[in-house]
Structure 1
Amino acid sequence: MTNFESRLTGGHPNSLGNTVEVVDQVLANPIEFDALFNCYFSADEVVRLRTSNAMKRVCKANKALLLPYIDRFIDEIAKIDQASTQWTLAQLFLSLEKEMSPNQVTKAKEIMKYNLANHSDWIVLNQSINTLSKWSKKDADLKEWIKSHLIRLAKDERKSISKRAGKMLEMLFG
């Protein structure tokens, strides 16, 4: 059995470490996806960060591997208090939307609405703005909800947040 956790640990926290090699191994042998997924429960935040990066890469290459795990992303991974996990969820939910049930999409929206209203990490905010704004185009209730948050975030001192919020305000409300 492969110990992905030990392969994803160590090195500089901002580096990919062995993430790409782990992803390649999972893509070559999809039965190992579960072992990679379980790295989310590591006590090491660097392992969880790299696991999130690996999930985005796997999703891009073979989205079908993530489909049986959508409920676990919603019910378990969303509870991990780590910015990289939350911003990855926003990206994964957007990528997986067409494969998600209406109930799963509703739960994903609630997770991201919570993050947009309560999180301070700039990447979490940017990715939540992006996904929720795109979903707001076809969800009038979400569009109504997001407006005040976009107005607030358009005044954020961090340029990446204020620019994205302003852009989405323009896109949604003209």
Structure 2
Amino acid sequence: MDGVFSQVLQVGGRSNSLGRTAEVVDAVVAEPVRLRELLDCVHDQDAWVRMRAVDAVEKVCRVDPGRVAPYVEELLTTWTTSDQASVQWHLAQVLRQVRLTPAQQERAIAWLAARVVTTDADWIVAVETMRTLLVLVDAGVVPADVVAGLVEVQRGHHSASVRRKADQFLEQLRRTGG
């Protein structure tokens, strides 16, 4: 695929459509050097381009987390400052797929915990954040009781789906000794 990713990612209307995101993912998988171009799209003026770009980065990460790993510091510095829900939930997804240094783990846990310390989070952000925190519990990176306390908060979320997920995650934590 020739062209600038930001232009390609504009195509798809102004709905939650992912537009041509799959084409961008395929292009980056075929030419890993283009990941930089895709990452730059996360800072685009257009919120839809940003949403599609972070979705594409997460999908590239699914294919090969090692491709995204060199950019974790950048993501923890720039994506964590975004108040766009799609950036936040995709960052939560990426953080559970890449290998983090101990310092990165600390920063990631602090950022994730801040998303679910209250029930104000977007429902997808809340669910993906809790899911990532459970992965970090399973990896022995964060204590189960700390995560259980955060998940317990989400049992009061305005979204019924978040409340259901929180109940499921608490049960999972109980089964694993949390």
TM-score (norm 1): 0.90
Contact 1:137 1:172 (8 Å CA) reproduced: no
Q: Distance in 1 between matches of 2:77 and 2:172?
A: 31
Query: Higher mean Cα deviation, 84-93 or 109-118?
Result: 109-118
Which one has the bigger helix percentage? Answer: 1
Post-superposition CA distance 1:39-93 (Å, at most 9, x none):
0110111011001110121111222221110100101111111000110111110
Query: Higher mean Cα deviation, 46-55 or 11-20?
Result: 11-20
1:156 — aligned with what?
157
Q: Which amino acid aligns with 2:134?
A: S
2:123 — aligned with what?
122
2:104 — aligned with what?
104
Return 5+ residue gaps in structure 2 as ranges.
none
Q: Structure 1 pair 140/76, CA: closer, same or farther in 2 (3 Å)?
A: closer
Return 5+ residue gaps in structure 1 as ranges.
none
Q: Which amino acid aligns with 1:114?
A: A
Q: Structure 1 pair 152/5, CA: closer, same or farther in 2 (3 Å)?
A: same
Q: Structure 1 pair 31/12, CA: closer, same or farther in 2 (3 Å)?
A: same
Give the aligned length: 172
Q: Distance in 2 between matches of 1:35 and 1:137?
A: 34
SS of alignment partner, residue 157 of structure 2: coil
Q: CA RMSD in A?
A: 1.9
1:13-92 paired onto structure 2 within 5 Å: 13-92=15-94
